[in-house]
A and B are shown apart, each in its own frame.
Chain A
Amino acid sequence: MSSASSPDPAQWVDRYGDELYRFVAARVEPEQAEELVQETFLSALEALAGFRGEASERTWLFTILRRKLIDFYRRQARSLLEPLPLAEAEEDHYFGPAGHWKAEAAPHAWEPQVQEQALEQEEFQQVLLRCQQQLPPQHAAVFALRFVEERETDDICKELGLTPSNFWVIVHRAKLRLRRCLEMNWFENPHR
């Protein structure tokens, strides 16, 4: 057999460890990222007999890692302390009784040039990731599945056991929080 079609678990950490880790570290916290890589290697080990060499070893490991990541989001979304529907209170941070923006929460103008640059800046990406990690676990999972993994709404609802209306409420709340977090920590931060 050629080396491409016979996986060599003893080499996995050195060959693919950093690359797999980097993929998940851009999505979850470092400790969690390492755990997902470990779960991936262990699952791959168990599935070794089923590896047919149709994909490269690397592609195969990434496929397993992605599945582990989705499982992680699912667990995260289900580790609910309070059942849905959540209290109405969350939106009340942003909107007054008549449903209009509260003065202190209304979106400020973000400079177009700063917005444009932000997309390319690694520091901004780090701030965004930290803001995501500060979301309640279920919000973070829904946000990641929708906007990072670009899963279909129906799939996410099915996987996480959400009704469409709860799904949109969570997307809305996650966006409200992230917007505010970015405004405070980036767009209006003089140390940007």
Chain B
Amino acid sequence: MPMLNDLPTCRDATLLLEKREGQPLPLAERLRLWVHLLFCVYCRRYVQQTRLIGQAARRAAAAVGQAALSAAGKERLRAALRQRGVG
């Protein structure tokens, strides 16, 4: 059982949470993180919110938005192509 006095701080715990999503943590680190989360409501919120952010960023980029080139933008692109002898 990890000792209470070597539990990660919130600063460390939030960093470990990010790492955990990308690579397995050593067992001792996992245990200490788990105990920290048991006691820390802020970091428990953070776990869930940081995941939501990743998920939302992916979805936002995949969403079919309304963005479209302006008429001027299209003209600039055509001009750039014309300069290279197109059209």
Closest to A187 in B: B49
From 1 to 42 in chain B, residues with beta carbon under 8 angstroms from any chain A beta carbon are 9-12, 14-15, 18-19, 22-23, 42
Minimum CB–CB distance for B42 against chain A, Å? 5
For the complex, count residues of B whose C-beta is within 8 A of A.
44
- A45/B84 in contact, CB under 8 A: yes
Q: How many Å lie between the Cα of A12 and that of B46 in the bound state?
A: 45
Interface flags, A112-128, vs B, CB<8A=1, else 0: 00010011001011001
A17 in contact with B18 (CB, 8 Å): no
A42 to B74, CA, bound (A): 14
User: Measured between C-beta atoms, what is the minimum distance from A25 to chain B in Å?
Assistant: 4
Decide: A118 and B11 in contact? CB cutoff 8 A: no
Given known pairs A10-B86, A95-B9, the reply for A26 and B53 (CB within 8 Å) is: no
B69 touches A21 (CB 8 A): yes
Give 7 pairs: A residue, B residue, CB < 8 Å, sorted on A. Answer: A13-B78, A18-B69, A41-B81, A107-B45, A148-B58, A175-B18, A175-B53
